[in-house]
């Protein structure tokens, strides 16, 4: 597996857990297996790995749940964001692409676990727009922006994550 020297940061939605990697592997992929679907609460996990020795947790620590003897799932205990899939024996941590500050940087090269791919996956590009008007969207976007608790997509000096209620 090729390695790419690239600086990558990311973290959870609330900002309590942040990471930084100085090298990445070229294994960007979508895993459709049932365990990844459950772990991310989506229809697939979009993942790309950092070698463990190139990955540091720059704020907080991920909570870890062992989904089997071989695999750890990392997430933020405060806000619940899924952060990684990690085979405990292969020395790399597959980060969730959605938790990266720049998720567009790692287009996937492969689908895996396709026996559990939902039947409508191939139809996604053809699904209709929901019909909300531009004005509806602007009002909603303004309302969210006015009370947004999400951490920005960059490293910050300090951040007071709202505690879980």
Residue 12 touches Zn ion, criterion: CB under 5 A? yes
Applying CB under 5 A, among 25, 29, 44, 78 the residue interacting with Zn ion is 78
Going by C-alpha positions, the residue among 164, 163, 151 that lies closest to residue 58 is 151
Strands 92-96 and 18-21 come out as unpaired
Q: Where are the alpha helices (DSSP H) in 87-132?
A: none
Within positions 88 to 107, which residues make up the interface with Zn ion, using CB under 5 A?
Answer: none
Applying CB under 5 A, among 21, 24, 25, 36 the residue interacting with Zn ion is 36
For residues 45 and 32, give the distance between their C-alpha atoms in angstroms, rounded to a whole number. Answer: 7
Residue 46 touches Zn ion, criterion: CB under 5 A? no
Minimum Å distance from CB 135 to Zn ion? 32
Which lies closer to Zn ion via its Cβ, residue 49 or residue 76?
76
Residue 16 touches Zn ion, criterion: CB under 5 A? yes
Which lies closer to Zn ion via its Cβ, residue 54 or residue 73?
73
Complete DSSP assignment for 145-162: HTT--PPPSS--S---PP
Minimum Å distance from CB 16 to Zn ion? 4
Which lies closer to Zn ion via its Cβ, residue 33 or residue 64?
33
Query: Do residues 109 and 95 touch, judged by C-beta distance below 8 A?
Result: no
Segment contacting Zn ion (CB under 5 A): 1-9, 64-72, 74-82, 121-129?
74-82
For residues 161 and 79, give the distance between their C-alpha atoms in angstroms, rounded to a whole number. Answer: 9
For residues 47 and 37, give the distance between their C-alpha atoms in angstroms, rounded to a whole number. Answer: 12
Which lies closer to Zn ion via its Cβ, residue 70 or residue 137?
70
Residue 14 touches Zn ion, criterion: CB under 5 A? yes
Query: Do residues 18 and 11 touch, judged by C-beta distance below 8 A?
Result: yes
Can you name the residues that pair with 71 across neighbouring β-strands? 87
The residues that touch Zn ion, with contacts defined as CB under 5 A, are 12, 14, 16, 31, 33, 36, 76, 78-79, 113
């Amino acid at each position: 597996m090729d390695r790419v020297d690239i600086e990558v940061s990311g973290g959870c939605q609330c900002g309590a857990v942040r990471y930084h990697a100085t090298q990445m592997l070229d294994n960007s992929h979508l895993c459709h297996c049932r365990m990844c679907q459950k772990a991310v609460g989506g229809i697939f996990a979009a993942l790309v790995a950092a070698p463990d020795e190139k990955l540091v947790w720059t704020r907080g620590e991920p909570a870890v749940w062992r989904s089997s003897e071989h695999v750890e799932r990392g997430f933020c205990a405060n806000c619940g964001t899924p952060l990684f899939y990690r085979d405990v024996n292969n020395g790399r941590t597959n980060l969730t692409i959605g938790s990266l500050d720049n998720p567009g940087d790692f287009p996937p090269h492969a689908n895996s676990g396709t026996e559990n791919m939902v039947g409508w996956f191939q139809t996604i590009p053809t699904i209709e727009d929901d019909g909300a008007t531009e004005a509806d969207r602007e009002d909603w976007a303004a309302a969210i922006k006015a009370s947004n608790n999400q951490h920005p997509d960059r490293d910050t000096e300090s951040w007071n994550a709202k505690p879980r209620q």
